[in-house]
């Protein structure tokens, strides 16, 4: 979802409609909408052209824009989206929830999904 959100923000910042961006890219407005909603994925050529048209960095769009640092201020060799970091920070505010995620992340996600009737 982060990819679509960032594509949409960049499109709006450039004051482009989905239709205009689609025309520039050579795809339909429906395709652009799908990219932004996360229901479609552009092929590599279109992804690279989107980056160029919207003046975006691939690492930013893919959510690899923030260096991850451990408790000892050592940098990890991965990057994360700020949105992902915010989610983790919120989870850590609830010790019980954080411990549930640490002990069995898959089961915890399944419990949350069933509680809120997510698929």
- How far is Cα 52 from Cα 102, in angstroms, rounded to an integer? 39
| Mean pLDDT value across residues 58-86 | 78
Percent of the chain with pLDDT over 90: 54
| Mean pLDDT value across residues 7-24 | 97
Q: What's the confidence (pLDDT) of residue 100?
A: 87
| Mean pLDDT value across residues 107-118 | 91
Judge whether residue 83 has pLDDT over 90.
no
Number of C-beta neighbours around residue 44 at 10 A: 8
Which fold would CATH assign to domain 2-61?
Answer: 434 Repressor (Amino-terminal Domain) (1.10.260)
Domain extents in the chain: 2-61, 66-115
Q: For 22-56, how does the pLDDT look when each residue is reduced to its tens digit (9 = 90+)?
A: 999 999 999 999 999 989 999 999 999 999 999 99
Q: Which of 26-35, 94-103, 109-118 has the lowest mean pLDDT?
A: 94-103
Please say whether the beta carbons of 19 and 29 come within 8 A. yes
Measured in degrees and rounded to the nearest 5, phi and psi for residue 12 equal -65, -35
Q: What is the 3-state secondary structure (H, E, C) of the chain?
A: CHHHHHHHHHHHHCCCCHHHHHHHHCCCHHHHHHHHHCCCCCCHHHHHHHHHHCCCCHHHHCCCCEEEECCCCCEEEEEECHHHHHHHHHHHHCHHHHHHHHHCHHHHHHHHHHHCCCC
Higher pLDDT, 78 or 11: 11
């Amino acid at each position: 979802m982060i990819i679509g959100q960032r594509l949409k923000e960049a499109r709006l910042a450039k004051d482009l409609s989905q239709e205009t961006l689609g025309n520039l890219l050579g795809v339909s407005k429906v395709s652009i909408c799908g990219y932004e909603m996360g229901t479609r994925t552009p092929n590599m050529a279109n992804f690279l052209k989107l980056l160029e048209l919207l003046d975006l960095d691939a690492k930013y769009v893919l959510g690899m824009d923030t260096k991850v640092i451990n408790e000892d201020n050592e940098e990890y060799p991965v990057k994360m989206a700020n949105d992902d970091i915010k989610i983790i920070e919120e989870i850590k505010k609830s010790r019980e929830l954080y411990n549930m995620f640490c002990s069995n992340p898959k089961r915890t996600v399944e419990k949350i999904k069933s509680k809120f009737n997510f698929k």
